[in-house]
Amino acid sequence: MSTAISSQPAGSDREIVTTRLLDAPRDLVFRLYSEPGHLAQCWGPKGFTNTFHEYDFQPGGQWNFIMHGPDGKDYPNHSVFEEIAKPERIVFRHLGGGHEFQMTILLEERGVKTQLTWRMLFDTADHCERVRGFVVPANEQNFDRIEAALAKMSATSQL
């Protein structure tokens, strides 16, 4: 897979939008999100690992996990899935940890590739602005990890 250029399209003052064209078909990208074993391997910025405790991939389902930072610190996470429209959209509400927001993941077919868009909508413009400086580069690192996981999934599924 080749790394495609990401962009930060203009959004509202409460929203962070990150987009990347992935060299993978949409069904494979959706599969990565729907199977916790794959997602746990690539969720979060560079250097992070995850322990998923609950991943109930359906509207109203809970997603509870711990992100283990490269500094040794643990970051508990809790989200609730609000909408799942296979294979084009996943919406969840990230709760707690001081960073509450709604995440909309859009998967758009672009021939044999997929445009991945994350729309993070915060409750206030102030909160969005406070986290923008670390969220934007963290999202890019997460997209890098997703690309690597998709490449591995593609290679495995062709065997």
Q: Is the pLDDT of residue 5 over 70?
A: no
Residue 2 has a pLDDT of 43
Confirm whether 99 is domain-assigned.
yes
Taking only the tens place, the pLDDT of each residue in 128-158 is 999 999 999 999 999 999 999 999 999 887 5
Confirm whether 17 is domain-assigned.
yes
Residue 158 has a pLDDT of 56
Q: Which amino acid is at 9?
A: P
Compute the radius of gyration of the chain from its Cα atoms: 15
Q: CA 47, CA 49: separation in Å to the nearest integer?
A: 7
Q: Quote the domain boundaries for residue 149.
A: 6-157
| Domain count of the fold of the chain | 1
Tokens of 31: 């599969």
Residue 155 has a pLDDT of 87
DSSP 74-100: EEEEEEEEEEEETTTEEEEEEESTT--
Confirm whether 1 is domain-assigned.
no
For residue 142, which of 152, 131, 150 has the smallest C-alpha distance? Answer: 150
Q: Mean pLDDT, to the nearest integer, of 14-31?
A: 97
Other beta carbons within 10 Å of 95: 14
Confirm whether 133 is domain-assigned.
yes
Q: CA 114, CA 105: separation in Å to the nearest integer?
A: 12
Strand partners, 77: 65
Residue 4 has a pLDDT of 45
Confirm whether 107 is domain-assigned.
yes
Here the CATH number for the domain that contains residue 139 is 3.30.530.20
Taking only the tens place, the pLDDT of each residue in 6-17 is 455 556 899 999
Taking only the tens place, the pLDDT of each residue in 54-89 is 999 999 999 999 999 999 999 999 999 999 999 999
Confirm whether 64 is domain-assigned.
yes
Q: Is the pLDDT of residue 3 over 70?
A: no
For residue 42, which of 157, 141, 156, 158 has the smallest C-alpha distance? Answer: 141
Place of tokens 């991945």: 116
